[in-house]
Structure 1
Amino acid sequence: MDVRDHGARGDAGGFLHQGLGEYRKLPTKKYPALERRETAEWRYWRNFASTTLSEQVNAVTSVSYGGMESGRATLATTSGARVTLHAPSGARKLRTFARFKDVAYSGVLRDDGRALAVGGQQGVVQLFDCGSRAVLRKFSAHVAAVRAVRWSGDKLHLASASDDATVRLWDISTGNCVRRHDGHKDYVRALERSPASGEIWASGSYDHAVKLWDARAGREAVMTFDHKVPVEDIAWYPNGNLLVSVGGEDVCVWDVLGGGRLLQRLRSHQKTITTVHVHDDAGPPSFASGFEMTGNSAIDAKAPRMITGSLDGFVKIHELDTFTVTHSIKYPGPVLSCSLSPDANCLATGLANKVLSVRRRKTPRNKDESSGYQGVRSKKKGYTVKKPRRLDAGHWRYFIRGQNSKTAANATRVLRQRRIHLAAHDRMLKQFRYGDALDAALHMRRSEVIAAVIEEVGRRGGLQKALANRDDESLLPILEYIEKNIAKPRHTAQMVNIANRIIDIYGSDVGASATVDNSLRRIQEKVKTQLRLHESLRQLQGMALMITGA
């Protein structure tokens, strides 16, 4: 039973208007806002807010967008022994291909969206008709699993990379292998065609090598790069001058035109990087970038970005001119593949925990957003005229009308006294019921309100009375609040004061309630942890001063 004294004693603390006797609401405690870097890149990727998550039959090993020439891109996902075609946002399934005896890999659509090429565990590359889902061709010269399949620029050839350490080029019309490239010594897991020339292909292998193949130079590799660790994926820059390889925790950028020299080695992930994707326009324009501008103004400048995914569950976006990470996205599982739609409105990611994630922009990039007032158009005598829009509740100016009007000099001003709505803790403070005010603030679970009430009650000299005469049930919320906030710098001083007062009041009752004792013990452990942390930081500071001084 609470036996606090609720008598109207104490100072109003400056919250009564002088001469009026009206109670003013207790202002909420305001703290400085935590620093957050809201860059243009952060605002751009925050727009990818609408997320579609769909469970697949197995780990999603490949995601890719194709069919751009048909007018609408299609998302192809490979999971287990199944390849599924989705709408760009991933919300709707269009086709499912399941004619595989074993695991399928690297399902890719042709640019016209009419054919699908898929590799497989049995070393067979299959070509499907997207309309009827019939098998058009089977290419079966590989003797091990085919992990990467890509279309040529002329749409008449296919390239495949296999675990038998070979890269093959196939003629679709005849079904024959027209070129075979040997030179790798381990599994070949990555394959990409150069955007600058349809005759140049790049492949990455578990033998740590990235090789360039040119059909005009024969079957031997024309250039070899040493990635130092097994290569998981590769991607070309949009202009075809630079090549990116990923594997282990490293991202390597190679200057192909400069003779294959290593331009940059990046390390921004904590686990193996499994996928890389380079998009020619996937971010806010960088005015310092040296890439081509398509218009007369800087607004039309393209903003190419590199996207990497890793087993640490992060997808990271890199700027191509400075090689810096501009944004990170956390996923609920290891990332195996990722791809950005051609219009940069959808980001598809395949995870190892059988989840396909597609993030969609709230406002499409290609949507024309006009900021001016357009008015209303109407038909009159066969031509269109522009009329001013009638001011109604459908326009924002309707709600601010009259605010700029000036009253006449002889006008009478009528003041209306508004009724102030008081929160529960304000009503208790108005009646000098400090204990109930503290309980009401704790019930709201807002730290800024609780801190303001404690500060005001202490200023009135009623903090001792607010904490006294409590049973274990009414004392426990205060102890839980102390435990939660005593380690936070903005609350530490206030929490230490409250904790000392509680120990002074209830020190003789320790042991009477197991619940209260456990809460006090947790607070003690938290304080000890903070003290140990401060001691470690002081030691590190001393070592840092010795290093910098030397």
Structure 2
Amino acid sequence: MAAEVQPIAQVKLAARPSSLSPEQIYWRSFKTPVKHTSPTKHGITHISQPASSATANPSDYFVVSTGARVQLYSIKTRKLVKTITRFDDIAYSGELRHDSRVLVAGDETGAIQAFDVNSRAILKTWKEQKQPVHVTKWHPKETTSLMSCCDDRTVRLWDLPSDNSIVTLRGHTDYVRSGCFLSGQNSNIIVSGSYDQTVKLWDSRTAGSAVMTFQHVGSVEEVLSMPSGTTIVASAENRVAILDIVAAKPLHMITNHQKTVTSLCIASQGSRLVTGGLDGHMKVFETVGWNVVAGSKYAAPILSLQVITTGTSREDKHIAVGMSDGNLSIKTRLSGEQKVRERERQKEMEALLAGRIEEHDRKKAKLAKKRGAGWERRLRGRDFNGEDADIIIEGNARSQTDKKMKVWDRAMHAQKFAEALDHAIASKQRPIVLSILTELRYRSALRAALENRNESTLQPILHWVWANISSTQYTQICVQVSMTIMDLYSQHVGSSQTISKLVDKLYNQVKEDVVRSQQAIMTKGMLDLLLPDIAA
């Protein structure tokens, strides 16, 4: 019995090298965005996640401050879990303690309140200050200690059982809108940024003057302590300064934003700095040379952002961005198969850097072959017992296959080569046309498919060749087709104005490609001269 007719196998083109860097691919893997809109239409002024602690499990929440409310979102589901609205005016800087049991926030009236997260009851209220408190931060180690920064130009230290502040730090001459505790072993050092264009370091154990002061280029919007505890990042206007507190001098100035940088955070276990600005851009920087490695654009100015981490290893899980139009965007990095691909990418990069890429490729090919052999053995053992087993074709199998076959497949089977090529070109699918031309070449039927054509049937083929000859994946087959057409119709080209125009377009296209090739050859010649010197 005749074998079953199968559709022509589509030619698989070699994958082109990606124009994206591994860093861009990583940050673009944060997908499936969820958008939450503030019920008050206020901007999302602050997003935070509790700092890790050796004595506490990672938190299940991250905190969003918007209008006169503080919202708690689930890290697992990205859904709103709780809302605290017991504020007299706009709330600022909602922060969870590292055990996720107590939340603190300041507001526009100058009040600072501490809440029990489970019951949302007010545990403590301080009304010592009469101007807006834009910053409240928990001490990274002490569970009852926190700091605040206020528009009254002071930085204060508070103890939860006390009714008043225990330390007041004075020295700024304008609003203090940013602050944090220094990371690492020096957690008693407080960093503050002010609209007086300075970043100051204070020793919280004393009430004296600042122990160190850095001058910035403008009003300081945000400060951030890097995990090493020796570097501070501070943003003012559209610039981000990297400050070394050991050498007591600036290390670097980042100027990639076009408008004011409003938010800073760290990611990838402290190896990346993420910035957001009023230009709507989020940018990612590596923390060695401080070069930008990735970024994305949002629809509105960014007021706050945070890379939400999960697990004891603090892996990047979400990118939460708060915007001035009241929208909160949460993008999530997928897990499962994507994590497997990420591990393979890291192994391949390590092998490349170590000069073992060929060994890595051999192991990968060997593993793939081994898996394939296993599937073949299982398939043979299950379906084909014996070397001379008959293959039985059911009576209705061919009719089902014929229904699935495309018109160009049926034409090829009937040896109507010109008709098959016409149908493929009419489909406007380049891979299909390439597959048909490759099959025609394999069957030595390319000339038969192109001969005995008139002006209307030759025109689509010439147009396809002109449109694709510059693509490196199609150049070889386009050259063969054009040479065959010239061989068949060269004496008739002048008799058709339409065909003549197409031939001229093809000529000009090839001429441009030849010029580019000559330029590439000249460049290669110059590089060949340089390579011996570089190697030396």
TM range (shorter): 0.5 to 0.7
User: Equivalent residue of 1:221, what SS?
Assistant: coil
Q: In the alignment, is residue 160 of structure 1 matched against residue 173 of structure 2? A: no
- Structure 1 residue aligned with 2:329, among 356, 373, 378? 356
CA–CA separation in structure 2 for the residues paired with 1:508 and 1:366? 55
CA–CA separation in structure 2 for the residues paired with 1:187 and 1:255? 24
CA–CA separation in structure 1 for the residues paired with 2:202 and 2:453? 80
Query: Is the Cα–Cα contact under 8 Å of residues 309 and 338 in structure 1 kept in the other structure?
Result: no
Q: Which amino acid aligns with 1:230?
A: S
Structure 1 residue 115: Cα displacement: 1.6
Query: Is the Cα–Cα contact under 8 Å of residues 417 and 448 in structure 2 kept in the other structure?
Result: no
Match of 2:249 in 1: 261
CA–CA separation in structure 2 for the residues paired with 1:274 and 1:414? 73
Match of 1:14 in 2: none
Distance 1:219 1:398, change over 3 A: same
Match of 1:33 in 2: 15
Q: In the alignment, is residue 341 of structure 1 matched against residue 309 of structure 2? A: yes
Structure 1 residue 256: Cα displacement: 0.8
Describe the superposition over 1:435-492 as per-residue Cα deviations: whole angstroms up to 9, x where unpaired: 754564356553222344467779436458778548xxx98x998x899979967669
Query: Is the Cα–Cα contact under 8 Å of residues 65 and 74 in structure 1 kept in the other structure?
Result: yes
CA–CA separation in structure 1 for the residues paired with 2:59 and 2:474? 55
CA–CA separation in structure 2 for the residues paired with 1:505 and 1:416? 56
1:234-253 aligned within 5 A? 234-253=223-242
Structure 1 residue 145: Cα displacement: 2.9
CA–CA separation in structure 2 for the residues paired with 1:271 and 1:31? 44
- Structure 2 residue aligned with 1:64, among 38, 48, 52? 48
CA–CA separation in structure 2 for the residues paired with 1:505 and 1:417? 56
Distance 1:350 1:22, change over 3 A: closer
Query: Is the Cα–Cα contact under 8 Å of residues 66 and 111 in structure 1 kept in the other structure?
Result: yes
CA–CA separation in structure 1 for the residues paired with 2:262 and 2:176? 14
Q: Which amino acid aligns with 1:129?
A: D
Greater RCO (Cα-Cα under 8 Å, separation 6 or more): 1
1:523-542 aligned within 5 A? none
Distance 1:122 1:22, change over 3 A: same
Match of 2:266 in 1: 278
CA–CA separation in structure 2 for the residues paired with 1:255 and 1:62? 26
CA–CA separation in structure 1 for the residues paired with 2:38 and 2:30? 22
Match of 2:123 in 1: 136
Query: Is the Cα–Cα contact under 8 Å of residues 30 and 331 in structure 2 kept in the other structure?
Result: no
Distance 1:439 1:135, change over 3 A: farther
Structure 1 residue 414: Cα displacement: 5.4
CA–CA separation in structure 2 for the residues paired with 1:467 and 1:208? 78
Distance 1:415 1:108, change over 3 A: same
Query: Is the Cα–Cα contact under 8 Å of residues 129 and 135 in structure 1 kept in the other structure?
Result: yes
Query: Is the Cα–Cα contact under 8 Å of residues 169 and 179 in structure 1 kept in the other structure?
Result: yes
Query: Is the Cα–Cα contact under 8 Å of residues 52 and 357 in structure 1 kept in the other structure?
Result: yes
Query: Is the Cα–Cα contact under 8 Å of residues 59 and 98 in structure 2 kept in the other structure?
Result: no
CA–CA separation in structure 1 for the residues paired with 2:87 and 2:425? 61
Query: Is the Cα–Cα contact under 8 Å of residues 157 and 204 in structure 2 kept in the other structure?
Result: no
User: Equivalent residue of 1:428, what SS?
Assistant: helix
User: Equivalent residue of 2:17, what SS?
Assistant: coil
Match of 1:309 in 2: 276
Q: Which amino acid aligns with 2:169?
A: H
Describe the superposition over 1:279-322 as per-residue Cα deviations: whole angstroms up to 9, x where unpaired: 5xx26xxxxxxxxxxxxxxxxxxx74333333454444433344
Structure 1 residue 192: Cα displacement: 0.7
Describe the superposition over 1:403-426 as per-residue Cα deviations: whole angstroms up to 9, x where unpaired: 899xxxxx8545759999654323
Q: Which amino acid aligns with 2:274?
A: I
User: Equivalent residue of 1:351, what SS?
Assistant: strand
**Structure 1 vs Structure 2: percent identity of aligned residues?**
26
User: Equivalent residue of 1:460, what SS?
Assistant: helix
Structure 1 residue 88: Cα displacement: 1.4
Q: Which amino acid aligns with 1:265?
A: M
Query: Is the Cα–Cα contact under 8 Å of residues 171 and 178 in structure 1 kept in the other structure?
Result: yes
CA–CA separation in structure 1 for the residues paired with 2:142 and 2:278? 35
TM-score relative to the length of structure 1:
0.64
User: Equivalent residue of 2:220, what SS?
Assistant: coil
CA–CA separation in structure 2 for the residues paired with 1:396 and 1:85? 49
CA–CA separation in structure 2 for the residues paired with 1:508 and 1:404? 58
CA–CA separation in structure 2 for the residues paired with 1:454 and 1:400? 32
Distance 1:147 1:450, change over 3 A: farther
Describe the superposition over 1:12-61 as per-residue Cα deviations: whole angstroms up to 9, x where unpaired: xxxxxxxx999996564554432227877567656655554433334322
Structure 1 residue 266: Cα displacement: 3.0
Q: Which amino acid aligns with 1:120?
A: D
CA–CA separation in structure 2 for the residues paired with 1:485 and 1:362? 39
Distance 1:442 1:250, change over 3 A: farther
Structure 1 residue 244: Cα displacement: 1.4
Query: Is the Cα–Cα contact under 8 Å of residues 67 and 114 in structure 1 kept in the other structure?
Result: no
Structure 1 residue 172: Cα displacement: 2.8
Q: In the alignment, is residue 450 of structure 1 matched against residue 418 of structure 2? A: no
Structure 1 residue 79: Cα displacement: 2.0
- Structure 1 residue aligned with 2:70, among 83, 88, 95? 83
User: Equivalent residue of 1:448, what SS?
Assistant: helix
Distance 1:43 1:114, change over 3 A: same
CA–CA separation in structure 2 for the residues paired with 1:22 and 1:400? 22
User: Equivalent residue of 1:341, what SS?
Assistant: strand
Structure 1 residue 75: Cα displacement: 1.0
Distance 1:243 1:312, change over 3 A: same
Match of 1:107 in 2: 94
TM-score relative to the length of structure 2:
0.66
User: Equivalent residue of 2:166, what SS?
Assistant: strand
CA–CA separation in structure 2 for the residues paired with 1:269 and 1:360? 25
CA–CA separation in structure 1 for the residues paired with 2:108 and 2:494? 73
**Structure 1 residue ranges without an equivalent (≥5):** 1-19, 284-302, 368-394, 406-410, 510-519, 546-550
- RMSD between superposed Cα atoms in Å: 5.2
**Structure 2 residue ranges without an equivalent (≥5):** 341-370, 527-536
1:429-444 aligned within 5 A? 429-431=412-414, 437-438=420-421, 440-441=423-424
Structure 1 residue 150: Cα displacement: 0.8
Distance 1:311 1:455, change over 3 A: farther
Query: Is the Cα–Cα contact under 8 Å of residues 434 and 462 in structure 1 kept in the other structure?
Result: yes
CA–CA separation in structure 2 for the residues paired with 1:46 and 1:141? 46
CA–CA separation in structure 1 for the residues paired with 2:454 and 2:240? 59
Structure 1 residue 235: Cα displacement: 1.4
User: Equivalent residue of 2:211, what SS?
Assistant: strand
CA–CA separation in structure 2 for the residues paired with 1:82 and 1:504? 79
Q: Which amino acid aligns with 2:134?
A: R
Match of 2:285 in 1: 318
CA–CA separation in structure 2 for the residues paired with 1:102 and 1:435? 77
How many pairs are equivalent? 451
Structure 1 residue 108: Cα displacement: 0.5
Distance 1:363 1:486, change over 3 A: same
